Amino acid sequence: MSSTATSLAPKEHVGVLFEQLAELTGQRNAIDGRIVDIVAQMEHDDLAGMTGARSIAALVAWKTAVSPHNAQTIATIAHRIAEFPRCTELLREGHLSLDQVGVIAERAAAGSDEHYAELAAVATVTQLRTAIALAPRPDPDPTPEPERSISKTVGEKYTTWRIRLPRLEAARFDAALASQRDAQITAWRHDHGDDHPGDGDGDGDASDHDEGDSGRTPPFPNTVDAFMGLVDAGWDAEAARRPHGQHTTVVVHLDVAQSLASLHLGPLLSEHDRKYLLCDATCEVWFERHGQVIGSGRATRTISRRLRRALEHRDRCCAVPGCGATRGLHAHHLRHWEDGGPTELDNLILLCPYHHRQHHRGAITITGPADHLVVTDADGIPLDPGSLARAPTQPPPAVTPCPGPTGERADWWWYQPFEPNPPPPSDD
């Protein structure tokens, strides 16, 4: 702390710090505005695809080392930059923050640029959200499609799942849950008699779990047990049908004379498509010569369940730099097994479906072994997993300080929400 700062009175000291904060905030806003312009240009010229990134937001998160939420905010503003020229201009000039313009770009209706640009000069991000929520919305569809959702909340000791289903699907779920619970109760009574008092619709509380004779009798089945029974039954059926990966059985007809392959009752496969399908699948091969079947190979599982578990434990996510996908990953042979590549951990990596297809189409190249992986784009330039951040070589933007919103309490009674223009009359 400087001696000048210590000699000031507390109120004056706060004023000096606020001036510095306003100057830095304006410069940060202007820098964010320039980043938005760069991202908008990349989206307009369709330049993100050659980088191997799955989306504009994923590219921004990768190259700028920001959170996925902030990257999505930048991508949203860039996508609607033509609809909100005044708001983005104020962002470049340092008067509005990225979050303020992000709320407007994410939720505001078209044609509201001037309205919210004026409001954002004095409103906080929370107040902007409220103002946009007060704007009239178009009449909803009289028969909207019911929305399904499932969410998970992880606590210190328990995990809470919330499931929302339309009525018909909820009825199916209730019937399946009741059937599973009835079957468990029947099995329990067959083994332990039918003198248990808890014969209602137990919902999983402790009273339904009577331990009986000194804990030797298993708990009486409740709704949670029925739900877990459904999970186990579905898991067992899925494991029996697709036990070793993300793909189902691939039936391939291979012409041994011409080295051509086609799907069963389907088209010819290119070399890239054939290798993509056979990377992680149960494969059934039929050998042909001159259009006549001369033999068949038995169904072969290229990657065992144990090997896949070890692969998931090692990689955890897609191996392409900048991609953090963790679901639906494919196991990929670095040296394909058609070319003599072994199905071993050193020759396998996890790829998301997008990058798996990109690799087999030649958009990116992946070479190994797995512990020294090299990923390059179509021009052979390596993809660096780090961000582009470095020490600045130019002075900060010369913009006016940004004092921020006024911080006053909003009186929504007097606020006039944005009114979109009515649709043009139809010719009917």
Which tens digit of pLDDT belongs to each residue from 263-277? 666 667 777 776 776
Last residue of a domain, one of 376, 392, 420: 376
On whether residue 231 sits in a domain, the answer given is no
Phi, psi of 78 (to 5 degrees): -65, -35
- Report the percent of the chain where pLDDT is more than 70: 74
Q: Which residue has the higher pLDDT, 318 or 282?
A: 318
- Report the percent of the chain where pLDDT is more than 90: 20
CA 73, 77, 83: angle at the middle one, nearest 5? Answer: 155
Peptide bond into 221 cis (omega under 30): no
Same domain, 96 and 42: yes
Same domain, 289 and 317: no
- pLDDT at site 214: 43
Q: Which residue has the higher pLDDT, 204 or 428?
A: 428
Same domain, 263 and 331: no
145 pLDDT tier (thresholds 50, 70, 90): low
Same domain, 256 and 339: no
Same domain, 358 and 287: no
Q: Which residue has the higher pLDDT, 111 or 293?
A: 111
On whether residue 143 sits in a domain, the answer given is no
- pLDDT at site 344: 84
Q: Over 50: is that where the pLDDT of 62 sits?
A: yes
- pLDDT at site 333: 86
Same domain, 372 and 264: no
- Paired tokens of 110: 């078209």
pLDDT averaged over every residue in the chain: 79
Asked which of 81-95, 191-205, 361-375 is least confident by mean pLDDT, the reply is 191-205
Q: How many domains does the chain have?
A: 3
Range of the domain at 103: 10-134
The pLDDT of 11-17, averaged and rounded, is: 86
Query: Please, what's the b/e burial string for 13-37 (b: 16 or more CB within 10 A of its CB; e: otherwise)?
Result: eeeeeeeeebbebbbbbbbbbebbb
CB 131 within 8 A of CB 147: no
Same domain, 292 and 315: no
- pLDDT at site 80: 94
Asked which of 165-169, 388-392, 405-409 is least confident by mean pLDDT, the reply is 388-392
